Structure 1
């Protein structure tokens, strides 16, 4: 293939992605309106949409599509309900599940992993793949229209290579996680750290739409984070940008799971909350205890919501510690908004503690995130395998025959 041919194909793929994105945003919509928004000619849009109709990714309907010319019958385009599917998987100390969604991002079914212990990665991968295959069979989707899986994981990942680089809470070694999951699932896989995926999704469909500079912190059993500057997720030299859980905090002499003394994790995380409520001792942070600890953390958050004074006090104190750390984040990254994700981050008492300390030093708004883990995993898969330059249109054309 010569360079001119390759360039033409790249342009065609990019235009196809743009058309699908426009339909996702504006459906139902007529071809001439797509051409106007995309800045392409109507003949070019006709060619692209015919290809997408043939692949059964989109369909024509009679109705109230925008952009039709006066005096002509209304013919609009919309996404096909059964055009394409993706899998979303979450692997973290507090949650392990798999789900399936259509190309609109609507979750069709979700299934937890049948696990009592997450200390062995090979076991988690094997059971996760089995649960996913059971779910695919139960939902009854066309397997040839299943495009790929988005995996969000607690830890530092290199999305380019698909490696899990480190995970202090899971205590898993460095490994080619995407490669292992692709083999187990028999699907293309895209992996991302959970905070990065949440912030990307917040930007794509949540409260950060139109925002170019933002940060997100996920206080779960451990603390993760992500930073976006000028519309781009920051990764840093070793893909650790935004991981504030291991910032050194003045006044803490507790040893962290990473081996250091006095990390933010030891005073503001879910584990810290459980320890301060005397629900678990500090020396029980091993991976084999994590699933039980996740349930205890849900209980602690529920206690605070039911006005338990002790739980409220502990969550508020932990939130204050995070508020101190976020002053540094605001000073360095200068975000327009900081999101707190997860059940702990959304808890009124924790959020109040964060704001109480942070507001004395910054006017950056701190607000609960508006996207969930399952939305983040599904969005990751859709962006990688459906609304993508690399969409396998041939696979779908063959499935349509």
Structure 2
């Protein structure tokens, strides 16, 4: 704990003296000096020489700096359509990236391909694999983070997949696995739309719908780590079958595939709309979004309907959790006002007035990077025994 306190103080400061570190973290100067000496010996820190003259005279302090090239972390954001791999240095700064179509095959084959691409990305970045201290993998489904197993990812067709075991066959080092929505919530809290906010709900709406909940800056996991699966709460009166096995789930009405189905139905019944099937003869959510932004009334109504459902789902979360901020992330958040405005109006209509008072509703600041940045932070925070760990209890 003391080591992580000292290390984070030095990382945050850029350049700092031992005495200043001791003052900031509340440790004795001998304790800080012992930790710093160990970190210097390991090559994690380096001395820069004397700083400015001491305010009261005397010897000038020796400044310390974290060597960001002394370690690296990797984030792997597995999406339903696309997978992103980011290699970052010890400060979390990206040094390399690869994005590709998520392999559509058995989980074992898909993860083997992802692990192979990860190893290749590390090598192409010129990073010594021995300096990679951890890899974070986030997947869009139910995850038992303690076991690093994906219990269910219906939109990938995965069930009871030992993600860490399969990935570690090709990648060394520590591997951590987490849920996409929860990881995105951490990313937005640390470096996105909810910086400085301790109690946050992130509504992740893309191919599926989920939520990440932060309580006092820590992920709320629930009994088995499954908290936040708002996409599989049933909307009264809805009957569309869901890939989870139930009917009428939120994501059957308000997700990428749901928008595509609504657009296809509008075309089939002959409504006056500019929505058109794509190259493969299928209407996509992107086609609905494009038509709405061009002023198509049918497309605008489809997005408004989806936004209202998401707003109701968000109101359930707000009434139960009472966050200070709701962040909307995922592919649907990229649609912007045609969906987000009805969402916020619906949220505020259905939530308790007392819970809505002062509530911030924000669009993701990280966009499509929220999940993979969450994966980078997952690796960083676990491997450092980071004293502000938010992924673990």
Class of the TM-score when normalised by the shorter of the 2 chains? 0.7 to 0.9
Name which of 238, 261, 265 aligns with 2:251. 265
Aligned residues: CA RMSD: 2.8
Instruction: State the shift of 1:310 in Å.
Output: 4.1
Corresponding position: 1:338 with 2:333: no
The match for 1:88 is: 75
CA deviations 1:220-275 (Å, max 9, x no partner) are 11101122234432222332211100111123221111121111011111111111
1:67 Cα deviation (Å)?
Answer: 8.7
Residue 206 (str. 1) matches residue 189 (str. 2): no
Displacement of 1:63: 7.6
Match of 2:90 in 1: 103
- Segment drifting more, 74-83 vs 14-23: 74-83
Q: How does 1:210-229 map to 2 (within 5 A)?
A: 210-229=196-215
State the secondary structure of the residue aligned to 1:184: coil
Q: Secondary structure at the match of 1:90?
A: strand
Between stretches 365-374 and 157-166, larger displacement belongs to: 365-374
Counterparts of 1:257-296 in structure 2 under 5 Å?
Answer: 257-278=243-264, 296=284
Partner of 1:321: 309
**1:242 corresponds to:** 228
Secondary structure of 2:76's counterpart equals: strand
Q: With structure 1 as the length reference, what TM-score do the two structures score? A: 0.83
1:114 positional shift = 5.5
Consecutive unaligned residues of structure 2, counting only runs of 5 or more, are: 268-279, 388-393
Give the Cα separation in 1 of the matches to 2:177 and 2:52. Answer: 36
Contact 1:66/1:76 (8 A) holds in 2: no
CA distance in 1, matches of 2:95, 2:265: 36
Q: Which residue of 2 aligns with 1:366?
A: 361
Shift of 1:97: 2.3
3-state SS of paired residue (1:323): helix
1:79-138: CA deviation from partner (whole Å, max 9, x where unpaired):
2131100111111213212221101111111112455x4242112111111111211111
Shift of 1:144: 1.8
String of CA shifts for 1:294-342, please: whole Å, max 9, x gaps.
x944554455455554443322221111111222111111111111112
Tell me the equivalent position of 2:26: 39
Residue 160 of structure 1 aligns with which residue? 146
Match of 1:30 among 17, 21, 27: 17
State the distance in 1 between where 2:286 and 2:350 align.
31
In the superposition, the TM-score normalised over structure 2's length comes to 0.85
Unaligned runs of 5+ in 1: 1-13, 282-291, 390-401
Q: Determine the C-alpha separation between the residues in 1 that align with 2:86 and 2:52.
A: 32
What is the CA–CA distance in structure 2 between the aligned matches of 1:358 and 1:194, rounded to whole Å? Answer: 23
| Counterpart mapping for 1:374-393 below 5 A | 374-386=372-384, 388=386
Counterpart for residue 340 of structure 2: 351
1:33 and 1:66 in contact (8 A); partners too: no
Match of 2:390 in 1: none
1:303/1:34 CA distance change after superposition, 3 Å? farther
Question: Does structure 1 retain, via aligned residues, the 8 Å contact 2:53–2:59?
Answer: no
Higher mean Cα deviation, 301-310 or 77-86? 301-310
CA-to-aligned-CA distance 1:334-387 (integer Å, 9 cap, x gap): 111111112312422211111111122342322112342221111111111135
